[in-house]
Structure formats: C-alpha cells, structure tokens
Amino acid sequence: MNEDTITLYFAPGASSMAVHVALHEAGATFEARPLSFHRRENRTPAYLALNPEGKVPTLLVGGRPLTEVAAILFYLARRFPAAGLLPEGAEAEAQALSWLSFIAATLHPARRRGLDHAMAAYKVADARMAGPGWVLGRYSVADIHLFRLFWRFNASLRPPPDAFPNLLAHHARMLARPAVRRTLEAEAAIGYELPA
C-alpha cells in the first residue's frame, strides 16, 4: 500500500464528520468508507482489527490506523500545512490543542449527562469564543471540531436561540464554507443513523 494513501472510515453525522470536513478543507485525496451503525458494521472483526473500540473515525494512513478525532485533526493540519488549519508557533499550536482537548473531553460527553450539564458546558464554550470570528482568531481544526459537536447539539436539543450567540454565529459561518457543505451533502446522501 502506498505510504500516502488515506482512507477514512466514518458514519454519517457522527463525530467522524469533523475529519471528513478537514480532509475536504485540506484538499486531500482520500477514499471514504461509510459504516452503518444500524447494521453494526463498526463491530465486524475486520473493523475491530483497525479500531478495537469500534468507534469512528478511523483514518488509515498508508494502511496504519489513526483514531480519535482530535489526533486525526492535528495530524491532517500538520500533514497539509498549505491548508492553514493550524496556527504557527508553539504557543499557538498549544492553544489549538487546548481547544481540541476541551471539545473532546468536555463538550463531546456533555449530552450524555443531561440537558442541564450540556447547556452549562456549551455556555463555557460560548464564553470562550467571546467575540466574532474563529476560535483561535483564524480558521483552524478547532473550528471544525467545535462545529461538528455544536451542529449535533443544536439540531438534537434545540437550545433557545439567545443561549449561545457566539456559537450560533460560528455555526452560520461554518455552514457557509464549501468543505462543510460538501461534507454535509455527501453524508446526507448516504443517510444519517444517529442515536436519539
């Protein structure tokens, strides 16, 4: 297998959507392999050999699996520097990792802990954004990761429109991006099987 070959295993609408968007933003050539949760394709022996947790995404790079959204986003930003998905400099990269970690550790599990907990977590995210523009002051993988989680949160829990003004403005900016629209269209064409 070619060392540069990239294959994305994803489930439409799942957290893997962030990686799907980043691949389009980077202009990467990749093979997309959708998995059906309903048909338990993420639990087959072949897939579990790639990702023993049976989660998505899994990104194969030259046949080697890479898992976890934050790690994959960081990898793609570093692998495709011309896409400008990661700010330059040690401190700026650390700020990006801080956001990716916050999104993965705080926002991602928030919905499972109930509406009140989720609302509080997203209030923190809204306050951290505090102003117009992008998460780090310029577009980055942190915006992509934040968008995917807020996209799902907003669609499923329907918070009051005035609850998260910064996140809602960010969401609208993200929906205007061609890579986001391309990903949403591609995943919707396959069909979403997201849990309630």
Predicted confidence (pLDDT) per residue in 63-119, tens digit: 999 999 999 999 999 999 999 999 999 999 999 999 999 999 999 999 888 888 999
Is residue 196 over pLDDT 70? no
pLDDT class of 1 with cuts at 50, 70, 90: low
CATH 3.40.30.10 location in the chain: 6-82+179-190
- As a whole number, the mean pLDDT across the chain is 92
Is residue 3 over pLDDT 80? no
CATH 1.20.1050.10 location in the chain: 86-177
For the stretch 127-157, pLDDT in tens is 998 766 899 999 999 999 999 999 988 888 7
Report the side by side order of strands in the sheet with 6-10: 31-34, 6-10, 58-61, 64-67
Beta strands (DSSP E) in the chain are 6-10, 31-34, 58-61, 64-67
Q: Is 70 left (phi over 0), alpha (psi -120 to 50) or beta?
A: alpha
pTM of the model: 0.93
Instruction: Specify the pLDDT at position 124.
Output: 95
- Considering only the top CATH level, what class is 86-177? mainly alpha
- Considering only the top CATH level, what class is 6-82+179-190? alpha beta
